[in-house]
Amino acid sequence: MFDYDPYAQLDAVPEFTVESDDLDPDLPLKPPQYAADAGGADTSPHLAWSGFPPETKSFAVTAYDPDAPTGSGFWHWAVFNIPADVTSLPTGAGAPDSGMLPDGAVTLPNELREPSFTGAAPPEGTGVHRYYFVVHAVDVPSLDIDAQSTPAVLGFNLHFHTLARAILKGVGEFGGAA
């Protein structure tokens, strides 16, 4: 289907498991995971992970669309400094002030400059997009990143601190929330 895997160019790390009650691997996103202006609800999916390295000190969660017609993709969500004893996030944890993220977790502004989850909204005529929901097992308890940084800055820091990675992909296209 697609040749470009944005994680293939990074250093290889072990994989672990991420699952969701709201997202089926490699299948279309459900309407709530689409943006409000695309007929959805901007609702981040439930994510639960296991099998990460025992030396994990924290986690980061990102949601990324490499197929956005930007030349650089589109970051939908980026959260870091999730404590190592937290192994799931409930549906809707990406909503601003949801109170569902653990203490100490930091949500960076996404591409819309909002510190929240922004749902899928593929433009008409751009085909099927892939949505990578990734949990990164991190080797330090906290990353010292300014809360106004971009998700790309988080990605740069994760390059040096990721012990293992779990990836769950969904797909979406224009009109998919209907």
Looking at residue 32, what DSSP letter applies?
G
Place of tokens 């969701």: 20
What's residue 99's pLDDT? Answer: 96
Do 50 and 16 meet the contact criterion of CB atoms below 8 Å apart? yes
pLDDT, one tens digit per residue, over 73-130 is: 999 999 999 999 999 999 999 999 899 999 999 999 999 999 999 999 999 999 999 9
Predicted local distance difference test score (pLDDT) of residue 1: 47
- 2-29 residue pLDDT tens: 668 899 989 999 999 999 999 999 999 9
Q: Does domain 17-172 have CATH number 3.90.280.10?
A: yes
Average pLDDT over residues 60-69: 97
Name the nearest CA neighbour of 169 among 137, 129, 136.
Answer: 129
Mean of pLDDT values over 24-48: 97
The predicted model gives 158-171 an average pLDDT of 98
**pTM (two decimals):** 0.96
Angstrom distance (rounded) from CA 21 to CA 5: 24
Q: What is the pLDDT of residue 4?
A: 80
Element (H, E) at 132: strand 129-138
Q: What is the mean pLDDT of the chain?
A: 96
Give the pair of three-digit tokens for residue 132. Answer: 């990578």
d(CA 38, CA 33): 10
Extents of the domains making up the chain: 17-172
Predicted pLDDT of residue 2: 60
* Cα–Cα distance list, 91 to 33, 47, 156, 169 (Å): 10, 8, 27, 16
